[in-house]
Chains A and B, each alone.
Chain A
């Protein structure tokens, strides 16, 4: 009885029709995704390198001196970048899709980032934010670079640590001589979010076989100047406030393009 159904002509017809239907419906979906116009867009790779007063930053072993004359060693250096945009030669700002990166001097793979969906054109400036915008600070648990296990999130007073420098300095009176600059705060007068704008000469032509690259240098020395920061004055910064703001105003100047 059951067998007869499977071997029947009607059943085979239905099966055939359905398979065609199924195949066509599925392939239709695939088609629509390839119809996104990749032809007009390209990617852009940004390579970051970290220096201290012009020479490569060496964590944990090189001793540096800040403008207050205090010697120190850097053990940790990381920061968030987000809200990328490009300014084209017509002066128009092209906002790139949301992307958040945690750049960590200790992890080389984080120092090479890729920006997507850059329209064909000639660009004169690259813009980005140091830190994580207030929307992401307010909208609950995040993933990827923004995942809380990265240790860049304040739990007692919600918000991301936008940039972090830690190390050791004899000038710090505590037994460990550790200094910890955790720069954060996105509200009111203590908002540390900084927009950086770097002049570039960048032509995006999607027919190019190589992905265009920009080499960006971040100079850690800029954290300590022009508003002079001394370890004696503040060795541990772990909350929003004037100290965090002063450092953010300083490090806003740390980026330059090398190419």
Chain B
């Protein structure tokens, strides 16, 4: 009896080994360890993601490689700036305290660092929507001379020469080959895991036991629904459209917004509607970061709108907000802070040991 059991066990073992050998041959290489698939947890009530994972399935090793690259300062020309340098987790992956993005060699850009969470629901990227796919979004900051200023060919060579990277690429994709396609797919995998859908607002919407707005928050939610929700549409708190909100034009930056992408004068001064999720953690505000405090934003909508021919009809005449309304709106926006994002250890900085 005991022998029989052992025979069966041994048979199973050999079967497994053979099946494995067969697979290996068909795949033409690989060391046998396979990237482990990861299922993304999407917040209930969210729409289906725009980004298709069909050609870039999420794996534990792919996400890990993406995370390593995200925090590797060696990806910039002078090894001083990483993706995480501008996209800080505690600021909901925006840049705390800096109006304009800045990069290697004291260079400064012309726009503020956008927050990067819920990116898989966006069909276009950047303030002007010039980038059309999440996978190629990192190309811009990586190669822009005001940001990481890296030559992609040189970077690939550098990474290929690094045994640590070769191993990580092998873990994630089966072979040591470092290609730009793999690089960007891995970064995309990591960024895809930056999901914000678990704020107090969300638990209240999900009717979780004990979750409720205070009276002021509830009043703030109503003000939001009346005066803000048309553009900052739930549950993403943006309708992902491009609008001119009447922000006074700054000659010094001369930023025409989406018009630069479409060549259409109808898009003059239009910028993407940003999400209000984590808004109190991700100051400064507006595409040029000109407001450091959310109350300045309220004041702007109340009496600072400067209408041009392309200013959105919804804000053309301003959005009147009383002192009490501002306070209540602030308290509501506070419920949109997602601590499961900001405190998520899986997204935090990794130590780079060159």
List the interface of chain A (C-beta within 8 A of B). Answer: 5, 8, 10-11, 14-15, 18-19, 21-22, 25-26, 29, 137-143, 147-149, 151, 153, 155-159, 190, 240-241
Whether, in the assembled complex, B184 has its beta carbon less than 8 Å from a beta carbon of chain A, the answer is yes
CB-defined contacts of A190 to chain B, threshold 8 Å: 263
CB-defined contacts of B22 to chain A, threshold 8 Å: 22, 25-26
Do B135 and A156 touch (CB < 8 A)?
Answer: no
Whether, in the assembled complex, B153 has its beta carbon less than 8 Å from a beta carbon of chain A, the answer is yes
Interface locus among B3-11, B96-104, B303-311, B334-342: B3-11
| A5-B7, A26-B22, A155-B144 given; A240·B134 CB < 8 A | no
A-B contact pairs, 28 of them (CB 8 A): A5-B7, A5-B10, A10-B7, A14-B7, A18-B14, A18-B15, A18-B18, A26-B25, A29-B26, A138-B132, A138-B133, A139-B133, A140-B56, A140-B188, A141-B133, A142-B181, A143-B179, A147-B179, A148-B136, A148-B184, A155-B136, A155-B140, A155-B143, A156-B126, A156-B140, A157-B260, A158-B132, A241-B263
CB-defined contacts of B185 to chain A, threshold 8 Å: 141
Whether, in the assembled complex, B21 has its beta carbon less than 8 Å from a beta carbon of chain A, the answer is yes
**Nearest B-chain residue to A15, judged by Cβ:** B14
CB-defined contacts of A140 to chain B, threshold 8 Å: 55-56, 133-136, 184, 188
**Cβ distance A126 to chain B, nearest Cβ, rounded Å:** 29
**Cβ distance A26 to chain B, nearest Cβ, rounded Å:** 5
Chain B interface, >50% SS class: helix
CB-defined contacts of B132 to chain A, threshold 8 Å: 137-138, 158-159
Cα distance A15–B18 in the bound complex, in angstroms: 10
Cα distance A149–B26 in the bound complex, in angstroms: 30
**Nearest B-chain residue to A14, judged by Cβ:** B11
**Cβ distance A194 to chain B, nearest Cβ, rounded Å:** 20
Cα distance A143–B182 in the bound complex, in angstroms: 9
Cα distance A87–B162 in the bound complex, in angstroms: 49
**Nearest A-chain residue to B124, judged by Cβ:** A158
**Nearest A-chain residue to B9, judged by Cβ:** A5
Do B263 and A148 touch (CB < 8 A)?
Answer: no
Do A149 and B156 touch (CB < 8 A)?
Answer: yes
CB-defined contacts of B11 to chain A, threshold 8 Å: 14, 18
Do A147 and B139 touch (CB < 8 A)?
Answer: no
CB-defined contacts of A143 to chain B, threshold 8 Å: 179-181
| A5-B7, A155-B140 given; A22·B21 CB < 8 A | yes
